[in-house]
Amino acid sequence: MSKKVKPVKVGVIGCGTICRMTYMPNMMNKFQVIDVVGVADLIPERSKAMAEQYGVRQMTNEEIYNDPEIEVVVNLTYPESHFEVSRDAMLHGKSVYCEKMMACDWEEATELMRLAKEQGVCFTTAPDTFLGAWEQSARFYVDAGIIGKPVSVHAQHTCAYRPSNAKFDLSPDTFFFPLHRGGGLPFDWGGYYLHTMLNILGPVKRVTGFAGNYEPVMQYTHPAHPKYGEEFKIDTPTSIFGALEFECGAHGTFHLTSESYNSDNFIMTGTKGTLTLGNPNNFDGTLVLKRANAHVKPRMMPGGPQPNGAPVAASQLGEFARPEDTELPMLFGYNDSSRGVGLADMCYAMRNGRKPRAHCDIGYHAMEVIHGMIESANTGRIYEMTSHFERPEPLPLTNLVGTGQEDSLNN
Ligand SMILES: NC(=O)c1ccc[n+]([C@@H]2O[C@H](COP(=O)([O-])OP(=O)(O)OC[C@H]3O[C@@H](n4cnc5c(N)ncnc54)[C@H](O)[C@@H]3O)[C@@H](O)[C@H]2O)c1
């Protein structure tokens, strides 16, 4: 029987796109355990607008750090500020929930891990999409053996990022972090793919990679941009092609570039089947299973459809047996825009004295995978991972829906 817990007071730093679009609506309306006290931003107009819209206090970073009521700082700044804001919050004794990735590089991330331990504060990191419907369902099915023993996972996300906007980087409001330190696509989108892999397959043992930039210098290409035609230096790896070896024995590929054009592919294979995964940036998605003894559609059977339309197991079809796509049902909630569920889970974890599911150990491990691939690219050697994490507890299976499903976090 769940017991009511006292909501956790939080201060939000960073009132940009994701705060406006998702976090504030969810923190204010979706999760009862989160109590937003105030918001801050480098651009005061942004925090003012947010404070007015939601009836919370407009604050400065310092006011948030020094407010004795605030227990958690929610760091929604862009990656270049993650380290500074999380560090300052921890130094003031605050627990921290930080958007992805936790820092710009391995050294910064290592310092934050040290500081969180030293200060005895709770530190969790995004992405929290791995707590969503398709991701929790995928983990449930794979744990249950639906694809047999996992063999491989293939993650591919490619797109095109170029300084082609008329206002690109002209002010903090138009700063485009994916072409800056710590924000490149392998960090930005890579974080989603890695958290999914880690949540399902567990820790990585070693990695290799090739990393770099095909176009290390780009041009401002919008005719209305004041620097039109001038060159722009890219200070983050925008392409990584890596390979992973998991402790469980499975292997993986990691193919992320923002210097190409759009494509996505996310597949897990096992000794008994193949699972096509959803988009790890989204809470909702589909899971498609192919395995030898899946049920085939009647029209695929020898002799055409059965009179009663009943499916027949492919294993009964002898030489005609063939794998067939089967879309698996979703077994969990949070199938809509639910960013902040990792923060809500953290708040319940703090109240109930358990480990939060989005614990920094998993974010730190994901960070080391990327760091290791870059190291491997620079040295030409396989990189042995040094960090470790325990797979987060899966969410409990529940028949609760809507905002009532928050009860499943209260344990
Ligand atoms: N935009 C998205 O679709 C999206 C989706 C998921 C996650 N995220 C993550 O959310 C984070 C923020 O992304 P965004 O798109 O909202 O960026 P953004 O640039 O729109 O907003 C960041 C805000 O942080 C403020 N800021 C930066 N440094 C600060 C500091 N030291 N103190 C106070 N305020 C500071 C900026 O002024 C800006 O308003 C990133 O980690 C990103 O990876 C973004």
* Predicted confidence pLDDT, tens digits, the chain (411 residues): 678 999 999 999 999 999 999 999 999 999 999 999 999 999 999 999 999 999 999 999 999 999 999 999 999 999 999 999 999 999 999 999 999 999 999 999 999 999 999 999 999 999 999 999 999 999 999 999 999 999 999 999 999 999 989 999 998 889 999 999 999 999 999 999 999 999 999 999 999 999 989 999 999 999 999 999 999 999 999 999 999 999 999 999 999 999 999 999 999 999 999 999 999 999 999 999 998 766 555 445 555 555 555 555 555 555 444 556 788 999 999 999 999 999 999 999 999 999 999 999 999 999 999 999 999 999 999 999 999 999 999 999 887 777 778 999 999
Q: Is 190 in the pocket of ligand 1 (CB under 6 A)?
A: no
Q: Please say whether the beta carbons of 73 and 11 come within 8 A.
A: yes
Q: Is 42 in the pocket of ligand 1 (CB under 6 A)?
A: yes
Instruction: Give 147 Cα–ligand 1 centroid separation in angstroms.
Output: 38
Instruction: Give 326 Cα–ligand 1 centroid separation in angstroms.
Output: 39
Q: DSSP letter at 19?
A: I
State the pTM of this model.
0.93
Query: At 305, which amino acid appears?
Result: P
Of 295, 297, 300, nearest to 313 by C-alpha is 295
3-state secondary structure string, 84-95?
A: HHHHHHHHCCCE
In the structure encoding, which two tokens stand for residue 132, read together?
């969503």
Same fold yes or no, 8-130+337-363+387-409 and 136-327: no
Q: Is 191 in the pocket of ligand 1 (CB under 6 A)?
A: no
Question: Which sign, positive or negative, has the C-alpha torsion 109, 71, 62, 18?
Answer: positive
Question: Which sign, positive or negative, has the C-alpha torsion 215, 218, 221, 222?
Answer: positive
Domain residue limits, the chain: 8-130+337-363+387-409, 136-327
Instruction: Give 227 Cα–ligand 1 centroid separation in angstroms.
Output: 24
Ligand 1, from 13, 15, 18, 159: best to mutate by most atoms within 8 Å of Cβ?
18
Query: At 281, which amino acid appears?
Result: N
Of 365, 31, 371, 396, nearest to 199 by C-alpha is 365
Fold of 8-130+337-363+387-409: Rossmann fold (3.40.50)
Fold of 136-327: Dihydrodipicolinate Reductase; domain 2 (3.30.360)
